Amino acid sequence: MKPAAFRYHAPKSIQEALATLAEVGREDGCVLAGGQSLVPTMAFRLAKPKHLVDINGIAELARLEVRAGKLCIGACVRHAAFEQPVVEGPLGRLLAEVVRHIAHRPIRARGTFCGSIAHADPASEWCLVAAALGAEMVALSTRGERVIPARDFFDSIMTTMLAEYELLAEVRLPLLSDDTRFGFCEFSRRAGDFAIAMALVTCRMNGAKISAPCVAVGGVEAFPRRIEAAEAALTGRAPGAEAFVAAAEAAAEAVEPLEDDNISADYRRALVRTVVQRALERATA
């Protein structure tokens, strides 16, 4: 099928984009970033925006830089930018590890980090990273700037706190200290498919004991989140099967998995147990 008719806008500056969004946001206008989620839904007429505000011509939005201890990712930075570490240290390596699981190369070449966050698919790897690391989302509009912490940003399936007239201009990720360890594990049916369950774990070591653990799970509930019960099961414990099984069990118990015709809640819960345990093993290997 072909998309329904729409009016195309190609602003050349952020101010111009915000002015256009202020005008058309409430009349079914939306941002076009990489188009890798929006265009297929338009082709199936699941989305019929009346206006598309294409941000790809705005050079300022392609910035990827470190400022004040944070990696600042502009709205036009593509997934593929992260295939090689973009910063020294664990954060660059973590992003390079995770990006391999997003779709296929042609999609990674066009799709954007911020587009994934704005789209908020429950199985988005970048949404999991944002939730795990405590990202900040920078939303701009003609009314000004809002910086929204990840824990407040995701509302439900594919729904965020962004208003229709706001542009997600940048996402900021805190740099990780050199001694941060991380482990990621995703289960999907085929390489490149969306995750059915995935876990991202970070921690540090205080002597032989785990400190400051972060255990986050995605692809399971309406949006990814940290699982405090799993983190509590790890804090101050020696890495190893006993602590990992306890944390994995705590995570599996804490989630309320989505289910559909193909995947039951029980199956997803069992996968949570597996992906959390494997992510922990990878973090501490």
Ligand X SMILES: Cc1cc2nc3c(=O)[nH]c(=O)nc-3n(C[C@H](O)[C@H](O)[C@H](O)COP(=O)(O)OP(=O)(O)OC[C@H]3O[C@@H](n4cnc5c(N)ncnc54)[C@H](O)[C@@H]3O)c2cc1C
For residues 139 and 114, give the distance between their C-alpha atoms in angstroms, rounded to a whole number: 11
Closer CB to ligand X, 124 or 284, in the complex: 124
Q: At residue 126, what are phi and psi to the nearest 5 degrees? A: -70, -30
From 92-100, 104-112, 218-226, 275-283, give the range in contact with ligand X by CB under 6 A: 104-112
Q: Which residues 6+ apart lie within 8 Å of 77 measured at CB?
A: 62, 63, 64, 112, 113, 114
Nearest approach in angstroms of CB 259 to ligand X is: 20
CB of 188 within 8 A of CB of 172?
no
Phi-psi region of 42 (alpha: psi -120 to 50; beta: other; left: phi over 0): alpha
Q: Is 114 in the site for ligand X (CB under 6 A)?
A: yes
Q: Least CB distance from residue 284 to ligand X, whole Å?
A: 26
Q: What separation in angstroms does the CA of 4 have from each of 20, 36, 51, 130, 269? A: 20, 17, 11, 33, 39
Select the residue whose beta carbon is closest to ligand X and give its number.
111
Please state the closest distance from residue 168 (CB atom) to ligand X, in A: 3
Among 14, 18, 32, 72, binds ligand X (CB under 6 A): 32
* Binding flag, residue 107, ligand X (CB under 6 A): yes
* Cα–Cα distance measured from residue 53 to residue 8, given in angstroms and rounded to the nearest whole number: 6
Is residue 196 close enough to count as binding ligand X by CB under 6 A?
Answer: no
- 116 sits near ligand X (criterion: CB under 6 A): yes
Out of 51, 119, 225, 268, the only residue in the binding site for ligand X (CB under 6 A) is 119
Residue 187 binding ligand X, by CB under 6 A: no
**Beta strand 70-74 pairing with 154-156:** unpaired
Residues with Cβ < 8 Å from 269, sequence gap 6 or more?
A: 220, 252, 255, 257
Choosing from 77, 94, 125, 138, the residue that interacts with ligand X (CB under 6 A) is: 125
Q: Tokens for 158?
A: 């594919």
Among residues 11, 25, 90, 111, which is the contact residue for ligand X, using CB under 6 A?
111
Q: Can you tell me the distance from the alpha carbon of 245 to that of 262, in angstroms, rounded to the nearest whole number? A: 27
Residue 250 found at the interface with ligand X (CB under 6 A): no
Scan residues 144-163 and list those touching ligand X (CB under 6 A). Answer: 162
Q: CB of 3: closest distance to ligand X in angstroms?
A: 13
Asked if 33 is part of the footprint of ligand X (rule: CB under 6 A), the reply reads: yes
